[in-house]
Amino acid sequence: MKKTALLIVSLCCLLPMWAPAAENPLMRVSAEAEVRVKPDRAAITFGLFEKTDNLRQGTERLNTTAAQVNHYLHTRGIEDRFIQTDNLQILPVYTLQTAYGKNGVRTESEKLQYQISQTFTVTLDDPSQYEDVLYALLDMGINRIENISFYSTQIRQHRDQARRLAVQYAREKAALLAEAADIRLGKIVDISENALPAYPSARFMTSNISQNIVQPDLPADIEQTPATGMIPVKAAVTLTYKIK
């Protein structure tokens, strides 16, 4: 028994000497890059809205204006696939009206009206034309501008360029920090892409019409901007190095 106990104690004392060496420490470095590209598409979402007592007459007026809009867009050479028309929407609205007779008796009645609306989206392959198209639509009787967006159809290539730059900046940053800290970097053992917030939308108001610039339903790999200037395309990465 004594020999067995002594053997166990000896093994316990030797175990720390057999434990594996600690892993190399790690250093993580993050960097962000941005490239700016010129938009090659403009999308305008606009609509007609009317509140009327006579449903038939109101619908006819909207249909007449819609036909004029479609004719105008076709005369500009815009293909049907770039013109999207939503279904006509009709909403009955009941308004409580109060009247007083000569004898001072108060009477109330409900008045039925209809809100009629229709929405269109037109995509231009030349963003510089959007102002001409917008003003022409307003002259035709369009009374609601909902979305104006500018985007690039080549966003994938531009985003890949931003990713390459982000990796380059991260490597340069890691080298600088290692030199300043007097450490030696080993291999990159992990790389990850960081999520960035979407480009902010913009809103503006005019004296006679409310206009909201928002992001329409575009492909997931499309970047937008509320201005006709350059579109910022960003990428951010994190590199993980072993320290020798």
Which CATH number covers residue 226? Answer: 3.30.110.170
pLDDT band of 197, cuts 50, 70, 90: low
- The answer to whether the CB of 108 falls within 8 A of the CB of 96 is yes
- Do 170 and 76 fall into the same domain? no
pLDDT for res 236: 96
Query: Which range, of 14-23, 37-46, 146-155, 179-188, averages the lowest pLDDT?
Result: 14-23
- Do 132 and 177 fall into the same domain? no
pLDDT at 107 over 80: no
pLDDT at 16 over 60: no
Q: Is residue 104 part of a domain?
A: no
- The answer to whether the CB of 113 falls within 8 A of the CB of 52 is yes
pLDDT band of 108, cuts 50, 70, 90: confident
User: Could you tell me the sign of the dihedral formed by the alpha carbons of 205, 208, 209, 210, in that order?
Assistant: positive
Strands laid side by side in the 26-37 sheet: 26-37, 231-243, 185-194
pTM above 0.75, yes or no: no
- 3-state SS of the chain is CHHHHHHHHHHHHHHHHHCCCCCCCEEEEEEEEEEEECCCEEEEEEEEEEEECCHHHHHHHHHHHHHHHHHHHHHCCCCHHHEEECCCEEEEEEEEEEEECCCCCEEEEEEEEEEEEEEEEEEECCHHHHHHHHHHHHHHCCCEEEEEEEECCCHHHHHHHHHHHHHHHHHHHHHHHHHHHCCCEEEEEEEEEECCCCCCCEEEECCCCEEEECCCCCCCCCCEECCCCCEEEEEEEEEEEEEC
- Do 73 and 174 fall into the same domain? no
| pLDDT single digits (tens) 41-82 | 999 999 999 999 999 999 999 999 999 999 999 999 999 999
- Do 231 and 161 fall into the same domain? yes
Q: Which domain holds residue 234?
A: 22-40+152-244
pLDDT at 37 over 80: yes
- Do 156 and 137 fall into the same domain? no
- Do 146 and 158 fall into the same domain? no
- What is the CA angle 225-227-231, rounded to 5? 45
pLDDT band of 5, cuts 50, 70, 90: very low
Number of domains in the chain: 2
pLDDT band of 88, cuts 50, 70, 90: confident
Q: Is residue 12 part of a domain?
A: no
- The answer to whether the CB of 66 falls within 8 A of the CB of 49 is no
- Do 125 and 201 fall into the same domain? no
Q: Is residue 95 part of a domain?
A: no
Domain at 136, CATH number: 3.30.70.2970
- Do 75 and 47 fall into the same domain? yes
By CB atoms closer than 10 A (0-12, 13-18, 19+), residue 178 is middle
Counting residues of the chain whose pLDDT is more than 90, the rounded percentage is 60
- Do 75 and 128 fall into the same domain? yes
- What is the CA angle 189-192-195, rounded to 5? 165
- Do 197 and 143 fall into the same domain? no
Q: Is residue 159 part of a domain?
A: yes
pLDDT band of 106, cuts 50, 70, 90: confident
pLDDT at 31 over 90: yes
Q: Is residue 97 part of a domain?
A: no
pLDDT at 181 over 80: yes
Please indicate whether residue 75 or residue 195 has the higher confidence score (pLDDT): 75
Mean pLDDT, rounded, for 194-202 = 57
Sequence-distant (≥ 6) Cβ neighbours of residue 190 within 8 angstroms? 239, 240
Q: Both tokens of residue 58?
A: 């109101």
Query: Which range, of 78-82, 160-164, 197-201, averages the lowest pLDDT?
Result: 197-201
CA-based nearest residue to 223, from 84, 46, 41, 44: 41
pLDDT band of 228, cuts 50, 70, 90: low
- Do 241 and 200 fall into the same domain? yes
Q: What rounded mean pLDDT belongs to the chain?
A: 80
